[in-house]
Every structure is written in structure tokens, then in C-alpha cells.
């Protein structure tokens, strides 16, 4: 994309000139006038796209104080009215889908189809949240005491903190913020400093909608270039819930710091996801799903397919087909519609890719295709397949890159055992034409992951189901089903409408009134 085209794109999203910007805070620019700028570079070319001024400590305090004030006003708005505000934001996202999707691809490096798909996911969760706003149900229960009624209801938490990662720079925010909003909360967002422009563009759209309809400033943002403000954010008692998406190592520290102040955390961490291919599998289905799962977003999804556990009867044929399919993956400019895989996010990611390939080969892995960092501008690597063993340390390590380990197994039971040996428990898939095998995979003795699919891949979850995983994936759930409950506090109510005062459990305690 040329500089004039980039200027035009940013102008349509109400982000001014590319260099230098000073983008931070809720309603516009940071109050800070000094300090190092964040250089935002294109992963595809290495060219400087923009410079962003990170928030100061004063900016942070202004944002948090404003969010607390907004939350106090917003909790009194009826939930269906909150849903209407989210509907209006969803319409604004629809109007700017092309521009925002293009910016995501430009800044993140994912192909344009995925950038547009990420914005569509925001629109979908907005539609979902609008409906959910009329369905924040509590239960009614039968009391053991005569003349009593019991029920539960759900109330807003207050301020929800959202820390998102570079790989989904806008969609994961929407999962949290739009459900958080219909639940009556104000949401403060700390995006990845690797992808601040997409976040700032979304923030501008939020500002436009909320200001146009005289609504409280429930969507707020600060950009942090390091860890000082992020740490303050996590430890801030005004932030009732911290939703963190990122690595297991950092997520564990976030969970510990939030727990130390008895706050709530929602953790969406790493994944080392496996596709199981049994002896009855339809390879016409399995191969495209595996390739997209391993190559999509250049392997930089928490749901990316990293291991294929294939029955030895199909191992040779699946290997042949996968190598052939990988030869069709066009690597290049993520804005070119013909491209199937863009670059990694930065040079450090390419170095980690190279190190992982070297370690797997040192263990005895056989390189079937790929394995190289491309000698060209940008952070491009070859999608890679390595024949490996499941018990190797590198195979049990999440590498955020397009490396696929192909592992033959003797049976479905052996495949499930190998899959569940991972420290992570996010996404899993089985390809089979056997009803018995499918049900075994989905049973309590089958996959131990939060997501278990049959005859589709590990990546590309729909918003209607709760998203998240077990073990080192953190246990959080976002998006669909009843994930809205994470953004509210439960209150049990008992009403005595009788003229007596019986105690629970039949306890007798008599005093003269």
C-alpha cells in the first residue's frame, strides 16, 4: 500500500497523518508531549507505518477515573437499552468493515480475507450481544421455608479491563467489550503495542457512536509501550475483572496479581492443538482443514493446528497430500487477494521459528517441506511440516509460527492420550467416519480441551459457542453460550412474605421481640 493510500485509509477511520501521531487516551490525544514513540512497522515490508505516543501515568489515571464514572452511570441503564448502544456500534463497524479489515491486515500481516473476517466477527458478536441484552436471566428456586421466595439476579461488575494480543487486534476486544457493555460495565482496553492502530481506529468508532447518542464513555483505551502501566492496570482495585489474552507465562503472572487483590480474571492463554486423523477419516476434508489450521494467520493463532496425530494406516497418504497442499500456499503481500499466508508479526518471531525448526531437526525430526526464513523484506517464513514424536520437548512447546508436526499413532486411544499429554487444553479435532470414534473423542474420557470438533479443524470457532480452554490455557470462556456471566456478579435474593420468621435447616432461636 502506498503512502497516499495509507493516508486515505487512516483518514476514513479518523486517524490523522501517519508520522508522527500521538494517539492515546479516551477522547483523543495523549496529554504527554515527550517520551519515546512506538514505531508501528509493516510486518510485510518492514516499512514504518506510523508512530504512536504511549499513554503517560496521568493519561492512565484520567482513563480509569473516567471509566469508573461511566460505569456508575451505565449500570442504571436498562439492559435492552444497553443492547441498543451495541447495535449502533455494530452498524458503525459494518460501515467501516473494509477500511478496518484492511488496516488489521496491514498492521498485523494476516491476509485480507482474515482481516475482513476479523471485523465480521466483531459485527457478529455485536448482533449476538444485542439479543443477549434481553436474556440476562437468573433462576428462581423453591425455598424450604413457607412464605419465602428465592431467586438470583445478575448485576454489573463495574470496570472491566481488557488486555488483548497482536494476533487478533480487534475481535477479542469485541468478544469482551460488547458483552461487558450489555452487562452494564465500562470497559478499558490495553491493546498490544504491536498493533495499536487497529485498536485506535476502533476506539474512534466507539467515541463517535457514544458521543452522537449522548451515552456514557463506557469504551476507553490506553496504549502502553512497556509493562509499567500494564502492571498498574492488573493490580488496580478499580478494575473488577481483568480479561487477558496472551502467553501462558504472562497470563500466569496476571492471574497471580489479580488473585492477590481478590479480583476476577478471565485468562485466554496458549494452545498446542492437535488434529487426530483415524483410519476411517475422509482426507478430502482433513487436508484443507489441517492446512488452514496450521497456515492461517501464519500459525499465530492460539487455536492453530500444531500437531497431527494420524493413524499409521493413513500416515503415508496424508503426508503426501499435505506436502502437495503446502506447495500451493502462496506467501506474500497480505493485501493481495491471491496470498494465502502473510508474514510473522516481527523479526523476533521469525527467529523463534528458525530456532524451533533447528531444535526439532536436532531431536531427529525429518523436515518434509519448508523450514526456511525467506530472504526478502518483511518477516516471511515457509510453512513447515516435520515428521516428529509427540514426547519431544519442542513438540510440546507452543511456537507461534507455521510449524506442523506429523506424528503417526497406532490407535485412537493412543492418539487421545498423546493429544491430552499437552500442558495446554484449548482446541482439538478428530477426522473420522466412525460414529463410535466420534463419540469416544467427545466423551469424558476423550479430548480434555475446551473445544473438541469432529470433521472440522481446530481453528475458526463460531461466536455462538463459549471459547476457551483448560489447563495451561487458563480456563476462561469468552464469546457465546453463557460466557456473559463472567462480566457480572451473581446475587441470591430471598424474600419472606409471611408473618413468621422460620430459620433455615429448622434451627430454633427464640427471643422476645
Q: How far apart are CA 63 and CA 143, in angstroms?
A: 44
| 14 C-beta neighbours (distance < 10 Å), count | 14
Residue 138 burial class via C-beta count within 10 angstroms: exposed 0-12, middle 13-18, buried 19 and up: middle
User: What would you report as the CA-atom Rg of the chain, rounded to the nearest whole angstrom?
Assistant: 25
| SS3 label, residue 335 | coil
Q: How far apart are CA 294 and CA 329, in angstroms?
A: 11
Q: Give the Å distances, CA to CA, from 173 to 202, 314, 442.
A: 10, 41, 30
Record the cell numbers describing residue 502, joined without a space: 422460620
Listed in sequence order, the residues at least 6 apart from 32 whose beta carbon sits closer than 8 Å to its beta carbon are 22, 24, 53, 54, 55, 56, 58, 59
Selected catalytic residue, list 114, 118, 121, 268: 268
Q: How far apart are CA 235 and CA 229, in angstroms?
A: 10
Record the cell numbers describing residue 32, joined without a space: 504527554
The residue to which cell 494452545 is assigned: 271
The β-bridge partners of 276 are 309, 430
Residue 234, phi then psi, degrees to nearest 5: -65, -35
Is there a catalytic annotation at residue 256? no
Interior/surface letters 374-408, b for 16+ CB within 10 angstroms, e for the rest? eeeebbbbbbbbbbbebebebbbebbbbbbbbbbb
| 440 C-beta neighbours (distance < 10 Å), count | 18
Record the cell numbers describing residue 308, joined without a space: 497431527
Name the residue among 21, 268, 253, 63 with its Cα closest to residue 165: 268
Interior/surface letters 35-69, b for 16+ CB within 10 angstroms, e for the rest? eebbebbbbbbeeebbbbbbbbeebbebbbebbee
Name the residue among 289, 347, 273 with its Cα closest to residue 321: 289
Is there a catalytic annotation at residue 183? no
The residue to which cell 517441506 is assigned: 369
Selected catalytic residue, list 302, 319, 382, 478: 302
The β-bridge partners of 403 are 384
User: According to DSSP H, which parts of 142-218 are helical?
Assistant: 171-182, 196-212
Geometric angle at alpha carbon 109, from 106 and 112, rounded to 5°: 70
Q: Is the peptide bond before 309 cis (omega within 30 degrees of 0)?
A: no
Record the cell numbers describing residue 78, joined without a space: 436498562
The residue to which cell 475422509 is assigned: 282
Judge contact between 74 and 85, C-beta under 8 A.
no
Q: How far apart are CA 44 and CA 109, in angstroms?
A: 6
The residues carrying an active-site annotation are: 268, 302
Amino acid at each position: 500500500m502506498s503512502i497516499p493510500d495509507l493516508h486515505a485509509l487512516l483518514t476514513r477511520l479518523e486517524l490523522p497523518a501517519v508520522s508522527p501521531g500521538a494517539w492515546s487516551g479516551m477522547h483523543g490525544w495523549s496529554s504527554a508531549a515527550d517520551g519515546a514513540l512506538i514505531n508501528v512497522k509493516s510486518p510485510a515490508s518492514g516499512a514504518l507505518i506510523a508512530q504512536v505516543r504511549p499513554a503517560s501515568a496521568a493519561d492512565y489515571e484520567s482513563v480509569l477515573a473516567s471509566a469508573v464514572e461511566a460505569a456508575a452511570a451505565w449500570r442504571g441503564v436498562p439492559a435492552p437499552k444497553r443492547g441498543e448502544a451495541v447495535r449502533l456500534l455494530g452498524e458503525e463497524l459494518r460501515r467501516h468493515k473494509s477500511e478496518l479489515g484492511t488496516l488489521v491486515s496491514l498492521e498485523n500481516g494476516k491476509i485480507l480475507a482474515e482481516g475482513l473476517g476479523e471485523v465480521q466477527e466483531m459485527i457478529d458478536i455485536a448482533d449476538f450481544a444485542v439479543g443477549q441484552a434481553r436474556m440476562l436471566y437468573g433462576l428462581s428456586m423453591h425455598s424450604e421455608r413457607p412464605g419465602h421466595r428465592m431467586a438470583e439476579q445478575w448485576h454489573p461488575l463495574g470496570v472491566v479491563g481488557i488486555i488483548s494480543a497482536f494476533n487478533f487486534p480487534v475481535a477479542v476486544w469485541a468478544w469482551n467489550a460488547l458483552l461487558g457493555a450489555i452487562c452494564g460495565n465500562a470497559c478499558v482496553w490495553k491493546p498490544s503495542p504491536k498493533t495499536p492502530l487497529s485498536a485506535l481506529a476502533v476506539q474512534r468508532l466507539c467515541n463517535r457512536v457514544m458521543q452522537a447518542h449522548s451515552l456514557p464513555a463506557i469504551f476507553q483505551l490506553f496504549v502502553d509501550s512497556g509493562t509499567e502501566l500494564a502492571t498498574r492496570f492488573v493490580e488496580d482495585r478499580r478494575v473488577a475483572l481483568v480479561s487477558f489474552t496472551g502467553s501462558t507465562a504472562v497470563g500466569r503472572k496476571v492471574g497471580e496479581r489479580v488473585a492477590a487483590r481478590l479480583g476476577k480474571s478471565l485468562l485466554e492463554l496458549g494452545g498446542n492443538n492437535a488434529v487426530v486423523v483415524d483410519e476411517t477419516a475422509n482426507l478430502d476434508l482433513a487436508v484443507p482443514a489441517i492446512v488452514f489450521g496450521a497456515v492461517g494467520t501464519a500459525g499465530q493463532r492460539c487455536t492453530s493446528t500444531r500437531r497431527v496425530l494420524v493413524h499409521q494406516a493413513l500416515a503415508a497418504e496424508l503426508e503426501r497430500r499435505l506436502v502437495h497442499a503446502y506447495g500451493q500456499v502462496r506467501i506474500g503481500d497480505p493485501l493481495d487477494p491471491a496470498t494465502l499466508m502473510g508474514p510473522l508479526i516481527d523479526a523476533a518471531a521469525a527467529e523463534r521459528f528458525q530456532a524451533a525448526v533447528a531444535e526439532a531437526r536436532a531431536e531427529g525430526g525429518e523436515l518434509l517441506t519448508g523450514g526456511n526464513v525467506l530472504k526478502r523484506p518483511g518477516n516471511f517464513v515457509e510453512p513447515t511440516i516435520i515428521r516428529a514424536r509427540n514426547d519431544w520437548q519442542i513438540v510440546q512447546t507452543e511456537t507461534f509460527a507455521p510449524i506442523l508436526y506429523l506424528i503417526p499413532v497406532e490407535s485412537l486411544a493412543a492418539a487421545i492420550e498423546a493429544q491430552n499429554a499437552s500442558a495446554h487444553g484449548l482446541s482439538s479435532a478428530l477426522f473420522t467416519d466412525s460414529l463410535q470414534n466420534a463419540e469416544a473423542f467427545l466423551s469424558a474420557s476423550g479430548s480434555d480441551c475446551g473445544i473438541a470438533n469432529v470433521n472440522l479443524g481446530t481453528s475458526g470457532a463460531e461466536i455462538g459457542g463459549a471459547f476457551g480452554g483448560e489447563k495451561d490455557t487458563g480456563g476462561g470462556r469468552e464469546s457465546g453460550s453463557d460466557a456473559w456471566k463472567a462480566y457480572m456478579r451473581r446475587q441470591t435474593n430471598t424474600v419472606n412474605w409471611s408473618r413468621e420468621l422460620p430459620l433455615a435447616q429448622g434451627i430454633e432461636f427464640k427471643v422476645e421481640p
